[in-house]
Structure 1
Amino acid sequence: MAYATLDELKGRLDWDLDDDELRIAVTALDDASELSAMYGRDWPEATAPRLVKTFVLKAAARYMRNPNGYTQSRAGDETLAWSDAHGRDAGSVYFTREEIRLLEELAGRKPGLASAPISAWGTKAHPRIEGLVPVDYGGAPFPMFADDRGPW
């Protein structure tokens, strides 16, 4: 399953790929497609949103341009540098935080808080008696409030 084709990726690169690069480009497209299914959802290829294809192509092209994740390179003293800006993703196919957020939204996942009613299994609702609290041992309800006029 790939959400983009090799020809579409070639159109985003400014050089002709040799045989090794072609092999790497195919795996980069597969990796980016798998990541988009993980962050978004497993869309059928024919019905995937166009933005998914765009993100897959961007991630694969980003990897093809810099497969080792270099941030600095000098030819004179042969200096190479890597950055922890992308953490474990440096030197691999990855999506940016914004791309991940948009993929989650496309899939209908919205981060945030939610609440759900929870009750213990096998419990029964007790009739509410104003000012009295039911007790577990089966006895008479316990008076919660000392005032006859109301709880407050």
Structure 2
Amino acid sequence: MANFATLAELQGRLDWTLDADEERIANSALEDASDLASHYAGRDWPDASAPRMVRAMVLKACKRYMTNPAGYTQSRAGDETLGWNDTQGENAGTVYFTNEEQKLLAGIGGRKPGLVSVQVSAWNSVHRPVTAGLVPVDPPGADFPLFADGVEPW
């Protein structure tokens, strides 16, 4: 599977020039983010045909990771205090997509959440068309009249 974004595109979004070690980490982050994007979208695109929004979200997730690879939420220079909290949970210090980004990727991939209607029938049942005012009975034969007539059932 190909990455949805390039190292050069990621470098364009960062405020510093990557050294060799950071380039290695950035390439891994691009791979991870592309794999996650395919997972959340429920499909894979060849790198050239991926929607621009997918590429933008991959770059955003990689920039978030490269800017703060350890997942710190608090930092003080005076007493060298660093802090984490549970808002990122298990995603702290990894490449991740937020809940909103995950929903957007699912929508781009065609995975729409919601309710659907499904016809339900008993196993080995036979569908017989019902005429107005009559109810089918078992064993098959003359149907039971439920309404007065087919034209004016009530």
Fold agreement, TM-score > 0.5: yes
TM-score normalised over the length of structure 2:
0.81
Task: Give the Å deviation of 1:68.
Answer: 0.7
1:7-53 Cα shifts (integer Å, max 9, x gaps): 11111111111221111000000011001101112111111101111
Task: Give the Å deviation of 1:83.
Answer: 1.7
**SS of residue paired to 2:39:** helix
Residue 51 of structure 1 corresponds to: 53
**Rounded Cα–Cα distance in structure 2 between residues aligned with 1:7 and 1:30:** 14
Counterparts of 1:72-151 in structure 2, within 5 Å, are: 72-125=74-127, 128=130
Matched residue count: 151
Task: Give the Å deviation of 1:143.
Answer: 9.2
In structure 2, stretches of 5+ residues that fail to align are none
**Rounded Cα–Cα distance in structure 1 between residues aligned with 2:36 and 2:78:** 38
1:90-132 Cα shifts (integer Å, max 9, x gaps): 1110112222222111111111111110212311235758888
**SS of residue paired to 2:73:** strand
Structure 2 residue identity aligned to 1:65: T
**SS of residue paired to 2:59:** helix
**Rounded Cα–Cα distance in structure 1 between residues aligned with 2:54 and 2:129:** 54
- The structure 1 residue matched to 2:65, chosen from 39, 63, 66, is 63
Closer/same/farther in 2, CA of residues 76 and 127 from structure 1, 3 Å limit: closer
Counterparts of 1:35-46 in structure 2, within 5 Å, are: 35-40=36-41, 41-46=43-48
Identity across matched positions, percent? 61
Structure 2 residue identity aligned to 1:23: R
Structure 1 residue identity aligned to 2:40: Y
Closer/same/farther in 2, CA of residues 127 and 4 from structure 1, 3 Å limit: closer
**Rounded Cα–Cα distance in structure 2 between residues aligned with 1:129 and 1:6:** 67
**Rounded Cα–Cα distance in structure 2 between residues aligned with 1:130 and 1:53:** 56
TM-score normalised over the length of structure 1:
0.82
In structure 1, stretches of 5+ residues that fail to align are none
Structure 1 residue identity aligned to 2:23: L
Closer/same/farther in 2, CA of residues 135 and 23 from structure 1, 3 Å limit: same
Residue 26 of structure 1 corresponds to: 27
